[in-house]
Amino acid sequence: MSDRDVYAVPLAQKLGYVNTHYHKSPRLDITNIDNGQVGQYDFLISTDVFEHVTPPVSRAFNNARKLLKPSGVFIFSVPYTTGGGETREHFPDLNDFKIVKRSNRYELENTTTSGEVQRFTNLTFHGGKGSTLEIRLFSLESLHREFQVAGFNEIKIYEQPCLQYGIFWGDECWSLPMSTRVVV
């Protein structure tokens, strides 16, 4: 799901790998998958996508599980916090929303399911101003729960670089890679 070319190009050259996107072809909306894709994949890679998925995020975890073949592997990363706590939903009542530019800043306008209009001005974007809105910040504990509820039962966090598998990061690490699968 929207992998960087440094991963996507070599994988496509060696495997039957397709790099999908939310906003362009080939398209994959992890919150609304096509039934023809269920159980079709040996592995999924999602690098820094789920923090941008509209709520409820559990739908995305469940769909990732559905896309995989039995014993398929889900390779995953998102920014997260440690030390307890829950995932911090920045817009817990997100429903019918749009991002608008006013003067020199971006705002999120949301109409809740009850009809209340909300306006948010302190937004965090990944990829530059107005690019991809951060909707939540996960906690490590809630990530474990999301994986387990979706049916994943083997979860590994790569806290140290694993060069033989291309897992590495520089001095700044705010999103450790994880892998998970269903062991049958």
What tens digit of pLDDT does each residue of 60-99 get?
999 999 999 998 999 998 988 887 789 999 999 999 999 9
Work out how many domains the chain is built from and give that number: 1
Looking at residue 130, its pLDDT comes to 58
Is residue 36 situated within a structural domain?
yes
Is residue 99 situated within a structural domain?
no
pLDDT(172) > 60? no
Is residue 107 situated within a structural domain?
no
CB atoms closer than 10 angstroms to residue 11: 16
* Residue 69, domain CATH: 3.40.50.150
Is residue 96 situated within a structural domain?
no
* Counts of helices then strands in the chain (DSSP H, E): 3, 12
Tokens 């949301």: give the residue. Answer: 110
Is residue 59 situated within a structural domain?
yes
Residue 74: which domain range?
5-84+134-181
Interatomic CA distance for residues 135 and 115, integer angstroms: 20
